[in-house]
Amino acid sequence: MIIAVDGPAASGKGTLTERLAAHFDLARLDTGLIYRAVGAKILRDNDNPEDPVVAVAAARALCFTDLKQDGLRLEEAGLAASRVAALPDVRAVLLAFQRDFAACPPNGKMGAVLDGRDIGTVVCPDAHHKLFLMASADVRAMRRYKELQARGAEAIYARILRDIKERDTRDMSRSAAPLEPATDAFVLDTSDLDTDEVFSAALRYINPQNS
């Protein structure tokens, strides 16, 4: 079983894919961490994440241990990730990384759940189940604001909202794999749903005979 979960930042993909992976005993890959790790490395080296040569080199040097480094959830890493993800050559380098994970899940798992922005459209277009989560920019900004506050990180709501809107624009307008639901995806607006309601809706979509 391969489950693709796409959507913009703070739409609820991470929480949902964690629960789906546990429920169905699947391997899980947060593909956003791949791009965040590349972006974070570039920032640490004081380079420009929009420089194709720099970004491709960082992508080629990526290894699994890089996905466990601190700071990948910070807004700076997210913004850098959005910039490197807009580069076609970077996406080409990292595409095989994601497809290999889906085709050969680690630890003997019989399937995988991947979350990102182009899983159902590009990475795994033949996924058995495709979900696209969405929510208003205001709701997503507040979620991220509360998340950062809980971590003790500096959080300014107006700045977070601005960054989310700018990131949405970049992700939806890029020429390489723009953020959009697959034509056969189940689109779920999570604006007014809690995590349990999102999980229940996803299960009804994946296993309608058990709903």
Question: What would the 3-class secondary structure string for 39-58 be?
Answer: HHHHHHCCCCCCCHHHHHHH
Please state the CATH superfamily assignment of the domain spanning residues 2-203 in this structure.
Answer: P-loop containing nucleotide triphosphate hydrolases (3.40.50.300)
Tokens for 35? 């791009």
Alpha-carbon span 189 to 149, nearest angstrom: 24
3-state SS assignment for residue 19: helix
pLDDT of residue 104: 92
Q: Length of the chain in residues, anyone?
A: 211
Alpha-carbon span 16 to 141, nearest angstrom: 18
Alpha-carbon span 33 to 137, nearest angstrom: 21
The Cβ of residue 4 has, within 10 Å, a number of other Cβ atoms equal to: 29
Query: Phi then psi for 112, rounded to 5 degrees?
Result: -150, 150
Query: Phi then psi for 90, rounded to 5 degrees?
Result: -70, -45
| Strand-pair category, 129-134 with 27-30 | unpaired
The residue type found at 62 is L
Alpha-carbon span 8 to 117, nearest angstrom: 7
pLDDT of residue 146: 92
Contact 122, 95 (CB under 8 A): yes
The CA-based dihedral angle spanning residues 7, 132, 89, 175, taken in that order and rounded to the nearest 10 degrees: -90
pLDDT of residue 210: 67
pLDDT of residue 151: 84
pLDDT of residue 195: 95
pLDDT of residue 32: 84
- Ranges of the chain with pLDDT below 50: none
Q: What confidence tens digit (pLDDT) does each residue in 151-162 have? A: 888 889 999 999
Query: Phi then psi for 97, rounded to 5 degrees?
Result: -55, -45
Q: What is the helix (H) or strand (E) element at residue 112, kind and residue range?
A: strand 112-116
Alpha-carbon span 38 to 45, nearest angstrom: 11
